[in-house]
Structure 1
Amino acid sequence: MKKNQLLNSELSYLVATLGHTDEVTVCDAGLPIPETTSRIDLALTHGVPGFIETVRTLLAEMQIEGVVLAAEFREVSPNLHEELQHLLQIEEQKTGKAIRRTYISHEAFKSRTEGGRAVVRTGECTPYANVIFQAGVVF
């Protein structure tokens, strides 16, 4: 059995096969997922798993250098946005590397998911609880 935090085989495989700058989206239960993009659906019921716990688990396995967020996230759901920012600050401290933050419109965000490696759907029901992780390198 795998010893690290991430047990989901699809997510584990995805992280193991990422290259530098590949993008992975973690989204709430309502974000439309393009037919052409790989879907890893973790949603079980409303709120399970949550956005933050999914992000926390993915960050334990994945090196990131940037995130893309909808500008509406910080405006409409400021508490969850702040929790994400806190996790990113902890990640920066652990790795000693800055994480670039880019804000775009929600419409542009939805379009951008088409070019990513995968969209990971959570059971989160907080508006705009979505993030695109840009893979970094560990060296």
Structure 2
Amino acid sequence: MEAYKTMLKQGILHPQLLRVLGETGHMDHLMISDSGMPQPLGKERVDLAILPQLPRLLDVLSAVTDVLTVEKVFVAEEVKTVSPRYHSKLLKALKPTGAEIVYIPHARLKELSNGPTLRASVRTGECTSYSTVILQAGVPYGGDDLT
């Protein structure tokens, strides 16, 4: 990858992540994973992990949901009992999106991460058990032409 300079003033600066978000369409899935989640073969991976817990998944999720319309979020149901403090933080982070939260077994989340609707995966340095989420893109508009 050649050197990249940005003149962006705020928001996501990572060029690959910006491109992936711009290419994501309605109903596409985007996985934001912890550092240990198996990454799907044959799908684009944006690897942000630098060190354990860097960057944190919730920070990446916040940056992504600031620019991407999300209508549904798939979460491992195990997070409720294994990582309850993280689960509370996750719910708080997702509340502004208004997205439907769908709890599924972690094994099903792994299957979904290899499905045909997965656009890409974003790997973080997160080390919290069952923290991976899969976002389903929505549309930022609706209704009739107002002009």
Could you tell me the TM-score, scaled by structure 1's length?
0.92
Corresponding position: 1:42 with 2:48:
yes
1:134 alignment counterpart: 136
| SS of alignment partner, residue 44 of structure 1 | coil
Deviation at 1:91, TM superposition (A): 2.6
Corresponding position: 1:4 with 2:6:
no
2:19 alignment counterpart: 13
The unaligned stretches of length 5 or more in structure 1 are 93-98
Asked whether the 8 Å contact 2:52–2:126 carries over to 1, the reply is yes
Hey, what's the Cα distance between the residues in 2 that align with 1:42 and 1:28? 10
Instruction: Spell out the pairing of 1:48-87 with structure 2 (5 A cutoff).
Output: 48-87=54-93
Hey, what's the Cα distance between the residues in 2 that align with 1:75 and 1:126? 12
Hey, what's the Cα distance between the residues in 1 that align with 2:94 and 2:127? 21
Hey, what's the Cα distance between the residues in 1 that align with 2:82 and 2:26? 31
Runs of 4+ in 1 over 2 A off after TM superposition: none
Instruction: Spell out the pairing of 1:112-127 with structure 2 (5 A cutoff).
Output: 112-115=112-115, 116-127=118-129
Asked whether the 8 Å contact 1:37–1:113 carries over to 2, the reply is no
The unaligned stretches of length 5 or more in structure 2 are 1-6, 142-147
Between the aligned residues of both structures, percent identity stands at 35
Deviation at 1:90, TM superposition (A): 2.3
Higher helix share: 1
Larger relative CO (CA 8 A, sep 6+): 1 or 2?
Answer: 1
Larger gyration radius, structure 1 or structure 2 = 2
| SS of alignment partner, residue 56 of structure 1 | helix
